[in-house]
Structure 1
């Protein structure tokens, strides 16, 4: 399956600014992206990077610096296409295979907080809208165009890495490039108060 992986290389992982400086955020973002590309390939997908600036990652790259919704909609050609966000570093080939093979004109993998972390589009009239509570909006849009809709419940696809608290999920559930980079940067899990968090040591 054709798989679009949107990637904003200009100001990546901006909500991690409380714990990472700009160069560190860029370094982590590229590793998150590469982990996702690896998982897509291992699941049998054909990844295409939809990037805001040129980048050499060994896959087809389309440069489009418009908003996420505009860029993705321009790339939907009528061919069955998945869209998988570049910060889903917990995504495994098995989780992605479930997404790619799920039945439905539109298949949504909701993110925590109402977003849409991954989806499959098989209906020629469906268009994305990633602003606000996009999961709710995508349900409505599927209904409006008469598309059959399926929602996929997946912890690994629901977890994106964009807030400091998400780093604990990355350290807990991944052995990929991004998790290794975090460990090398001094981050480790902390369970001192009964809740799992991360702390950084020099």
Structure 2
């Protein structure tokens, strides 16, 4: 299966700016990208990084500096109509081959992994007319788009794929459940779990 992995090579993880400087945010983002690419391959997928700028990575790179929606839709349009395609976000630091294999094997024309807050963290498209819309509550929009073209939908419930790393609280999930390069990077950078006000947090 052809798998697009969108990646912001220029301004990654800006919501972590209160915790990490620009160099560190870039390093963490690249570590998560490497983890996702490894998970895609472990699930039998063939990843292509859809990057906002040229990057040196162990995968084919398609450079497109436009917003996510038109960039992904043009890439999907270039796919062979009879072949399924997937879109897996680059910040799914807990992704594993098993979790992605469950998504890839979902028996539906459109299979969706919702993210927290109404986003879409990953999807598989088997319907030639389906196009994405990542503006706003994209999970709801993707359900609507599928209904408009009479495509059947499967919602894949996966903790590992629904956890995208954008904010400080998300680092807790990486330290608790991760075992890839991103988790190793956090530990090497001096981050550890801590209890803050009765809840798990991170400290450095």
Q: Fold match, TM over 0.5?
A: yes
Residue in structure 1 matched with residue 23 of structure 2 by the alignment:
23
Whole-angstrom distance in 2 between the partners of 1:43 and 1:150 = 18
Q: Cα offset for 1:195?
A: 1.2
Residue in structure 2 matched with residue 96 of structure 1 by the alignment:
100
Residue in structure 1 matched with residue 193 of structure 2 by the alignment:
189
What is the TM-score with the length of structure 2 in the denominator?
0.96
Whole-angstrom distance in 1 between the partners of 2:110 and 2:158 = 16
Residue among 110, 127, 134 paired with 1:130: 134
**What secondary structure sits across from 2:185 in the alignment?**
helix
Whole-angstrom distance in 2 between the partners of 1:114 and 1:123 = 22
Q: Does 1:39 align with 2:43?
A: no
| Alpha-carbon displacement from aligned partner over 1:82-101 (angstroms, at most 9, x marks no partner) | 10000001011110000000
Q: Cα offset for 1:58?
A: 1.9
Whole-angstrom distance in 1 between the partners of 2:177 and 2:13 = 19
| Alpha-carbon displacement from aligned partner over 1:31-56 (angstroms, at most 9, x marks no partner) | 01000001111111101110111112
**What secondary structure sits across from 1:141 in the alignment?**
helix
Q: Does 1:83 align with 2:87?
A: yes
How many residues end up aligned between the 2 structures? Answer: 200
Bigger mean CA deviation after superposition, 98-107 or 71-80:
71-80
Residue in structure 1 matched with residue 5 of structure 2 by the alignment:
5
**What secondary structure sits across from 1:183 in the alignment?**
helix
**What secondary structure sits across from 1:10 in the alignment?**
coil
Whole-angstrom distance in 1 between the partners of 2:14 and 2:58 = 25
Residue among 180, 198, 202 paired with 2:202: 198
Q: Give the 4+ runs in structure 1 shifted more than 6 A.
A: none
Whole-angstrom distance in 1 between the partners of 2:196 and 2:166 = 23
Q: Does 1:118 align with 2:131?
A: no
Whole-angstrom distance in 2 between the partners of 1:139 and 1:3 = 20
| Unpaired stretches in structure 2, ≥5 consecutive residues | none
Q: Does 1:169 align with 2:173?
A: yes
**What secondary structure sits across from 1:57 in the alignment?**
coil
What is the TM-score with the length of structure 1 in the denominator?
0.97
Whole-angstrom distance in 2 between the partners of 1:58 and 1:36 = 12
| Unpaired stretches in structure 1, ≥5 consecutive residues | none
